[in-house]
């Protein structure tokens, strides 16, 4: 571990440890001394069964939760104690629930304006100016959903897939340092999930975003990104680098999982596929 500022690591988790309900019968170690390093442009997929600690890990990075031990560094700066809303200047997020990432009673352009002003101090500037509207229109075309012609439609009128596509665009078009995707296709039907997956790929490549994606879908975890980790019981139990990932298949992953946690295999298989 080199000391001082590490420039070529964008996201760094050092010894992150989190215990829920400490000292009660419900005590649960959600994360067990996790170390994780992402280089600029890395796209890491995270798989694991329910309760493995994937969401807790995401919440540590976004700032929703603060670790008991350990530190979170973004671009060399310690942000462990920086509040969620301040940290979100650097971090874009898309949630599992398509309703969570947008404001339903506001229009598409107003939602985009909110996302647009993420990186700046909000003032009394007009939210949707002519210049911004043109910019939004251009960005919406990336989604191929025709939303660029419905700028003043209320977001609550959009379908789940459209809302999630909009959420994805809103989380990314200001080019955050880190993008967190928390099972963002899990609540969609297969066709919509496929659409969001390909959009994710396109957008991440366009902006070269450093991305961490949690998914329950092993095939998706293999198709996307250059790195993969598997979590179980609050620990990273399996990790691949770029070259290994290319040769991975769902079968090999399951085999790997069986080797490490053989006894749990039968019950977890259903959850993992």
Residue 93 sits at φ, ψ, to 5 deg, of: -135, 145
Taking the complex as a whole, the smallest distance from the CB of residue 60 to another protein amounts, in Å, to 15
DSSP result, 162-210: HHHHHHHHHHHTT--SEEEEESTTTTS-HHHHHHHHHHHHHHHHHHT-E
How far is the C-alpha of 229 from the C-alpha of 165, rounded, in Å? 25
Identity of the residue, 92 or 234, whose beta carbon is nearer to another protein in the bound complex: 92
Q: Is 102 in the site for another protein (CB under 8 A)?
A: yes
**CA distances from residue 241 to 37, 44, 74, 205 in whole angstroms, order as listed:** 12, 10, 21, 18
Taking the complex as a whole, the smallest distance from the CB of residue 121 to another protein amounts, in Å, to 9
Identity of the residue, 85 or 130, whose beta carbon is nearer to another protein in the bound complex: 85
How far is the C-alpha of 29 from the C-alpha of 234, rounded, in Å? 7
Residues 158-217 that bind another protein (CB under 8 A): 170-171
Interface with another protein by CB under 8 A: which range of 15-23, 102-110, 192-200, 252-260?
A: 102-110
Taking the complex as a whole, the smallest distance from the CB of residue 65 to another protein amounts, in Å, to 14
Number of residues in contact with another protein under rule CB under 8 A: 36
CB contact at 8 A, 89 and 63: no
Q: Is 157 in the site for another protein (CB under 8 A)?
A: no
Interface with another protein by CB under 8 A: which range of 30-38, 122-130, 142-150, 256-264?
A: 122-130
Taking the complex as a whole, the smallest distance from the CB of residue 86 to another protein amounts, in Å, to 7
Q: Is 114 in the site for another protein (CB under 8 A)?
A: yes
Angle 160-172/190-207 helices, nearest 10 degrees?
Answer: 10
How far is the C-alpha of 143 from the C-alpha of 59, rounded, in Å? 27
Looking up tokens 């006894």, which residue turns up?
263
Identity of the residue, 97 or 202, whose beta carbon is nearer to another protein in the bound complex: 97
Among positions 40, 41, 51, 127, the unique one binding another protein when judged by CB under 8 A: 127
Q: Which residues, listed in sequence order, are joined to residue 47 by a DSSP beta bridge?
A: 230
Q: Is 117 in the site for another protein (CB under 8 A)?
A: yes
- Kind and range of the H or E run holding 17: strand 11-20
Interface with another protein by CB under 8 A: which range of 28-36, 47-55, 114-122, 211-219?
A: 114-122
Taking the complex as a whole, the smallest distance from the CB of residue 269 to another protein amounts, in Å, to 33
Taking the complex as a whole, the smallest distance from the CB of residue 264 to another protein amounts, in Å, to 33
How far is the C-alpha of 164 from the C-alpha of 185, rounded, in Å? 8
Interface with another protein by CB under 8 A: which range of 10-18, 85-93, 222-230, 245-253?
A: 85-93
Interface with another protein by CB under 8 A: which range of 74-82, 124-132, 240-248, 256-264?
A: 124-132
Looking up tokens 């992150």, which residue turns up?
16
CB contact at 8 A, 223 and 191: no
| Site of interaction with another protein (CB under 8 A) | 62, 83-86, 88-89, 92-93, 95, 99-106, 110-111, 113-115, 117-120, 122-128, 170-171
């Amino acid at each position: 571990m080199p000391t001082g500022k590490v420039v070529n690591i964008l996201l760094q988790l050092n010894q992150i440890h989190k215990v829920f309900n400490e000292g009660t019968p419900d005590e649960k170690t959600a994360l067990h001394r996790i170390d994780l390093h992402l280089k600029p442009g890395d796209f890491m997929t995270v798989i694991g069964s329910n309760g493995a600690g994937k969401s807790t890990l995401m919440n540590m990075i976004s700032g929703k939760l603060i670790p008991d031990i350990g530190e979170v560094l973004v671009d060399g700066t310690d942000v462990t104690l920086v509040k969620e809303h301040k940290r979100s200047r650097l971090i874009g997020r898309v949630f599992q629930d398509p309703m969570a990432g947008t404001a339903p009673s506001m229009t598409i352009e107003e939602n985009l304006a909110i996302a647009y002003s993420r990186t700046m101090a909000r003032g009394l500037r007009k939210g949707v100016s002519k210049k911004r509207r043109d910019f939004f229109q251009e960005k919406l075309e990336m989604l191929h959903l025709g939303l660029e012609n419905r700028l003043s439609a209320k977001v609550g009128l959009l379908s789940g897939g459209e809302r999630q596509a909009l959420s994805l665009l809103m989380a990314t078009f200001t080019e955050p340092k880190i993008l967190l995707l928390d099972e963002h296709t899990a609540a969609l039907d297969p066709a919509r999930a496929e659409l969001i997956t390909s959009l994710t790929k396109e957008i991440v490549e366009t902006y070269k975003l450093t991305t961490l994606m949690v998914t329950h879908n092993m095939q998706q975890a293999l198709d996307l990104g250059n790195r993969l980790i598997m979590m179980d019981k609050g620990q990273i139990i399996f990790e691949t680098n770029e070259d290994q990932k290319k040769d991975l298949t769902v079968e090999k992953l399951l085999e790997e999982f069986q080797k490490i946690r053989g006894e749990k295999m039968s019950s977890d298989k259903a959850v993992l596929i």
